[in-house]
Every structure is written in C-alpha cells, then in structure tokens.
Amino acid sequence: MRSDPLHTRLCDVLEMELPIVCFTHCREVAVAATRAGCFAVLGEALRSMEEIERDIRWVRDQVGPGFGIDLVLPARAPRDASPEEIYAEIPSEHLSFAEALEARFDVPPPTNEVVLRKWGGNNKKIARAQIEMVLDEGVPVIATGLGAPDFLYDEAKARGIKMIALVGATRQALAQAERGADMVVAQGYDAAGHTGGVGTFSIVPEIASKLPNLPVIAAGGITTGRHLAASLCLGAAGAWVGTAWLASLESDVDPIVKERILAADGAETTRSASISGKTMRVLRCPWTEVWDGDDAPQLLQSPYQMLLTSRYLQGANDARRADLMTEAVGQGVHFVREERSTAEIARSMADEARTILEGFRAG
C-alpha cells in the first residue's frame, strides 16, 4: 500500500493526522480543528491571566492536552509602565490626528474594556504573567510571534515544552533555530496579522533549505488544498493556517466581519503598520487608509501605535460599525466563500491536497 502523501514528519512531532496547524483565537474552533485531525494553536496574546487559564482548561477538558498556545511578545518590550502610563506618553500631534479621524468618521467611544490594552507586548509585567500562566498550566507547545524573551525559552526547555517560532525573514528563522526553536513557521507576506515583506512562495523554500533538520511550517495565504499541496512541494512539513477558519460556523468573529470576509478578495486587505506600529495585514478600514495617507504623522513604534489604535478599534467593535471595523485577514481570503464547519474546511483542504499530490505520483 502506498503511503499517505499528507503524512509528514510534522504529523509525528505534533501527533496529529493532517499536516495542518490551525491558528485561532477561538476556543471552539481549536476544539473542532483538533477533532478534525489538525493541531490547534490558540492565540491568547490579548487575554488576561484569568482568561488564559480559563481557555486552556476549557480546551483541555474537550480534547485533552494536545494543543498549543500562542503569545506575541516582542523581544524589545517597553519599560515597566502600565498601558495607561504609556498611552499618556503618546505625542500630542498623534493624539490630535487620531481624534480628528474619530470625529471625521463619527467613531463612538468604547463602551467595553479596551482589549488591546491587555496585550503582553505593552508591558513586561503583563508579558511575564501571561508566560507564567501558560507554563504553569503545562501546555506542551508554545508559539511566539515577533520573538520571545530568553527566560521563556529557558523555562520551556527545562520543562520539555516544544517551542514554535513564527518568522517573516530567513535571518529571524536562523536566530530562533539557534536559540532552540523546535519548529519554525515561515510566514509570507500574504499572511494575516504581523507579517514581513517576503512572499510565501519565496520564504518557505528559502528557510526550508537553510534549516533541513527542523520541521518548517508554511504560513501565509494557505486557504485551499492547492495551497497545502504547494506548501509541501516548497519543502514545508505542513501548513499553519489562520484566515481559513475566520468565517467558520464555530468562529466567534463578529457576523458583520464574517460577511465582509466572505465577500473580500486579497486586494481588500492591506499590510499596514498603522494598527500596531509593525507591519500587519488586516482588512482595509478608515484607520489604515488615513494613517497610511500622505498627511499623517510618522507612525509610532509598538506599543505606542497599538495603544493609540485601541480606542478607535474598540469603539468600532463595540458599536458594531461595519464601515469602521477591521480584522487580521490574509490575501488567501478570496477562497473563503461560505460559512462551513471547521471540520469541513480541514477535510476539504486535506482531500484536495491529497488528490493533487497523488495525481503527481500517478502521472
């Protein structure tokens, strides 16, 4: 009998059936993806310690311990000031520009807690608390975007936790491998969220050729089985997928944003530093358009720009204003066309990839 072309070494390392890692912020999606044979990584970067503990325990109760947690922790965190103190340091020129934008687009003030202020990258103390919660809960896999503090690697290694580093450039991949990453996500320009300037088609084989001994996982624009098959052809041991689940039946993304996602194509996303101070791919919205325009002040660095954005975004989300809301969405969004179950998305991606790869063998 011929071997399954989708059974890669990543399947063995992460003990999963399909070479698909499901990145999601939604715990229901994480559970459904795990049950469908994927490995789920739950994004907890914007959650408090209590929320992180609650989510880990909830997912573990449903599917056991085989899932990971993702935190976004820039190596260069600001000094230990509270989000409010950092906000107070934002230059008046930027505050006035943001206020004028809010007035022009009639952005209502937030009515709920401002979620972006919970980000670990705002403050070393928050970052350390998030990390300690994940370590204490005994999660077997931790993924980090934008780098990670040394003590996290030291602690993870001591506890036998597998570390996944998301990178957007080959030099970052080499640096993270050197410090002990067990797997590297080669994330291309097409990807949702923080992303570098090299396309998926180039960055994946480049990193795979430099790190032949590590499982390299392709990310950025992978929304169909064709993309999954191509990832394996490029030398990846699997695919790290985010956008494809956003409009799934289990997803907790606001229905207004889901509707936009189902109608959008790649050109309706933009890679802008206006949200967080680092280049990030999101659906276009007034905030990205105005800040990326010629009249805007120079963008602030992270976390100042992130905190500046927080009022706009929370106000837009709380009022559920379709004209103002945005979300991290990748260029592969064109192929997200109907609200399907997470299992169906995983299954169709795997079936299509298998058919394509077996077709090569038959041919």
**Region from 92-100, 157-165, 242-250, 255-263 binding ligand FMN, contact rule CB under 6 A:** 242-250
We find the least distance from the C-beta atom of residue 92 to ligand FMN, in angstroms, to be: 30
Using the minimum distance from each CB to ligand FMN, give the nearer residue, 243 or 317.
Answer: 243
Give me 325's structure tokens.
């809301």
Decide if residue 181 touches ligand FMN (CB under 6 A): no
Tell me the DSSP string of 235-276: T-SEEEE-GGGTTSTT--S-HHHHHHHHH--GGGEEEESTTT
**75-80-85 Cα angle (round to 5):** 120
Angle at which helix 304-319 crosses helix 92-104, to 10 degrees, equals 20
Q: Which helix (H) or strand (E) holds 34?
A: helix 27-35
We find the least distance from the C-beta atom of residue 331 to ligand FMN, in angstroms, to be: 7
**Which conformational region is residue 236 in: left (phi greater than 0), alpha (psi within -120 to 50 degrees), or beta?**
beta
From 6, 31, 192, 203, residue interacting with ligand FMN (rule: CB under 6 A)? 192
Decide if residue 287 touches ligand FMN (CB under 6 A): no
Q: Report the helix count and the strand count for the chain, using DSSP H and E.
A: 14, 11
From 10, 31, 32, 45, residue interacting with ligand FMN (rule: CB under 6 A)? 45
Decide if residue 134 touches ligand FMN (CB under 6 A): no
Say how far apart CA 8 and CA 18 lie, in whole Å: 8
Closest-CA residue to 328 (of 294, 292, 299, 288): 288
Say how far apart CA 198 and CA 184 lie, in whole Å: 16
Decide if residue 243 touches ligand FMN (CB under 6 A): yes
We find the least distance from the C-beta atom of residue 254 to ligand FMN, in angstroms, to be: 12
**Region from 50-58, 129-137, 186-194, 303-311 binding ligand FMN, contact rule CB under 6 A:** 186-194
Decide if residue 221 touches ligand FMN (CB under 6 A): yes
Decide if residue 120 touches ligand FMN (CB under 6 A): no
- According to DSSP, residue 356 is labeled H
Using the minimum distance from each CB to ligand FMN, give the nearer residue, 36 or 192.
Answer: 192
We find the least distance from the C-beta atom of residue 340 to ligand FMN, in angstroms, to be: 16
Decide if residue 330 touches ligand FMN (CB under 6 A): yes
Grouping H, G, I as helix, E, B as strand and the rest as coil, residue 175 is helix
We find the least distance from the C-beta atom of residue 1 to ligand FMN, in angstroms, to be: 32
Using the minimum distance from each CB to ligand FMN, give the nearer residue, 164 or 177.
Answer: 164
We find the least distance from the C-beta atom of residue 84 to ligand FMN, in angstroms, to be: 22
Using omega within 30 degrees of 0 as the cis cutoff, is the peptide bond preceding 83 cis? no
We find the least distance from the C-beta atom of residue 344 to ligand FMN, in angstroms, to be: 17
We find the least distance from the C-beta atom of residue 192 to ligand FMN, in angstroms, to be: 3
Which residues make Cβ contacts (< 8 Å) with residue 67, sequence separation at least 6? 30, 34, 39, 40, 41, 42, 59, 60, 139, 141
Decide if residue 303 touches ligand FMN (CB under 6 A): no
**Which conformational region is residue 62 in: left (phi greater than 0), alpha (psi within -120 to 50 degrees), or beta?**
alpha
Interface residues for ligand FMN in 71-90 (CB under 6 A)? 72
Decide if residue 70 touches ligand FMN (CB under 6 A): yes
Decide if residue 165 touches ligand FMN (CB under 6 A): no
Say how far apart CA 215 and CA 80 lie, in whole Å: 36
Residues that bind ligand FMN (CB under 6 A): 23, 25, 43, 45, 70, 72, 145, 166, 187, 190-193, 219-222, 240-243, 246, 327-328, 330, 332
